[in-house]
């Protein structure tokens, strides 16, 4: 009887999942950011993401090195299903995957993977690091963009 009650209690216990790394309101920290070669540098960026169930909605407002301003947006499921991207030059789709608290994003144009990253939130939740990865092999590349929680 005790085993039965324990199993029943475990089945009713809520599942606690770590927060998806991107969820929050983030401001670019240029002092902690390292750009690899051929990356269009940002001079200012605000990254805001909210989660509703298994969907992540993000808005990225950026000012690039030449002064060009962009506003990128996507709402995507966390299950690798493709979702549209707007406002980001040469990208029209994103696929998201979560493993623990780490989020992996792969961006494509007309089905061809062009850009990828992994997002890691600090243990204290005050900073976010986005590490670029090869969009096919998922091997880490050189750019690390760091954000502070607003």
d(CA 72, CA 148): 19
All domains in the chain, ordered by first residue: 19-149 (2.40.128.20)
> pLDDT per residue over 68-112, tens digit each?
999 999 999 999 999 999 999 899 999 999 988 899 999 999 999
In three-state secondary structure terms, 120 is strand
Phi, psi of 69 (to 5 degrees): -105, 140
> pLDDT per residue over 23-77, tens digit each?
999 999 999 999 998 888 999 999 999 999 999 999 999 999 889 999 999 999 9
What pTM value is reported for the model? 0.85
Q: Is the pLDDT of residue 4 over 60?
A: no
Q: What mean pLDDT comes out for the span 107-126? A: 96
């Amino acid at each position: 009887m005790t085993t039965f009650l324990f199993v029943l209690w475990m089945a009713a216990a809520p599942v606690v999942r770590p927060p998806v790394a991107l969820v929050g309101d983030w401001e670019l920290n240029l002092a902690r950011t390292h750009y690899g070669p051929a990356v269009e540098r940002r001079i200012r960026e605000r990254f805001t993401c909210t989660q509703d169930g298994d969907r992540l909605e993000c808005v990225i407002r950026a000012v690039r090195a030449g002064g060009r301003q962009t506003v990128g947006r996507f709402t995507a499921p966390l299950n690798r299903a493709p979702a549209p991207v707007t406002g980001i030059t040469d990208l029209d789709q994103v696929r998201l995957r979560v493993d623990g608290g780490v989020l992996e994003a792969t961006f494509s144009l007309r089905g061809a993977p062009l850009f990828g990253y992994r997002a890691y939130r600090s243990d204290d939740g005050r900073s976010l690091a986005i590490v670029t990865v090869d969009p096919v092999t998922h091997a880490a590349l050189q750019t690390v963009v760091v954000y502070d929680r607003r």
